[in-house]
Amino acid sequence: MIIRLHRLSLPLQHEFRIARGAITAQNSLVVELELDGFTGFGETTENSYYGRTFESMTESIEKCRSLLSGYQFGPPEELWDQLFEVIPDDMFALSAIDLAVHDLCGKQAHRHTFDMLGLQWQDIPESSYTIGIDSIETMRAKLAEQPDWSIYKIKLGTSHDVDIVKQLREVTNSRFRVDANCGWSVEETIENSKALRELGVEFIEQPLPATATDADLRQIYEESVLPIVADESCQVEADVAACHNRFHGVNVKLCKCGGITPAVRMLQQAKQLEMKTMVGCMIESSIGISGAAQLLPLLDYADLDGAVLLSEDPAVGVQVTNGVVTLSDQFGNGGRFRDSAL
């Protein structure tokens, strides 16, 4: 097994702002695994909120090098268990490896990863397009630049959130979803839900901090007139059960849970608990998006616009066009570097 790491800086089309900060470029780490003529790619991103840097993730991956060097196309979930024993505290690094292993195995078997997982490519939800926090004029302009999406995810967490949605509603009749990124109180969540429902909002993502009390979570679960979907409160497998009867759905992100292997288990558990299922993304290239897209058959909602937000994508793979997701013609996850990017 040959292991290569690629550090990327991905420039964005626009400054991307959420309730806790803003960026103009996203740092990304791609793991490339080569075995018997097949190559698999996986991606993860730096994240200051979760304390993940190039250096910390590279150090974690290096700890796994000897284990990976002996790998011979076994079930990815078995390798994941072994990797977890080595780096149990770095899901971001583990996710990149897991995506690369799934990609590698799919290519060796000449099958798409979703097929390897026993899933069928049918009833695939469309992705939303994210509008980051900015002046209302700029947010309206960003929406007008992408007029053909049927679903928009609006980042909130300001003192005038309802007015933002009112102003954006004047621009489009498409469905809205809102993400407060832990920026609201219990009272704001309940009151905002009433106004937002009238404005055609489908659900609210993570209004309260991940540290919110159980009583607060149960109160908004019961009193919000819109469904509440967990993001920061649902990071790893154990969190799904903890979110039951506190959230109406969960947003699973591969880099936070450790990759495709645990994400499948989380989504299946959420379905068993009759919760809505969603997979989101970071701002990342088509390598990461292509991996996450393999889980679409398990989802009610999708937020896979990360590569669309880039001014230049160094990779190709699964395509997200106005929300419609089209598979790559490559097996595995389907993502790879453009020839010009190498």
Residues with catalytic function: 155, 253
Residue the block writes with tokens 């209004």: 207
Asked if residue 81 belongs to a known ligand binding site, the reply is: no
Pair 83, 293: CB distance under 8 Å: no
Residue the block writes with tokens 């004029």: 137
Asked if residue 284 belongs to a known ligand binding site, the reply is: no
Report the first-to-last Cα separation within the chain, whole angstroms. 20
SS (H, E, C) the chain: CEEEEEEEEEEEEEEEEECCEEEEEEEEEEEEEEECCEEEEEEEECECCCCECHHHHHHHHHHCHHHHHCCCCCCHHHHHHHHHHHCCCCHHHHHHHHHHHHHHHHHHHCCEHHHHCCCCCCCCCCECEEECCCCHHHHHHHHHHCCCCCEEEEECCCCCHHHHHHHHHCCCCCEEEEECCCCCCHHHHHHHHHHHHHCCEEEEECCCCCCCCHHHHHHHHHHCCCCEEECCCCCCHHHHHHHECCECEEEECHHHHCCHHHHHHHHHHHHHCCCEEEECCCCCCHHHHHHHHCCHHHCCEECCCCCCCECCCCEECCEEECCEEECCCCCECCCEECHHHC
Pair 184, 196: CB distance under 8 Å: no
Asked if residue 231 belongs to a known ligand binding site, the reply is: yes
Task: State phi, psi for 303 to the nearest 5 degrees.
Answer: -135, 85
Residue numbers belonging to the annotated binding site for Mg(2+):
179, 205, 231
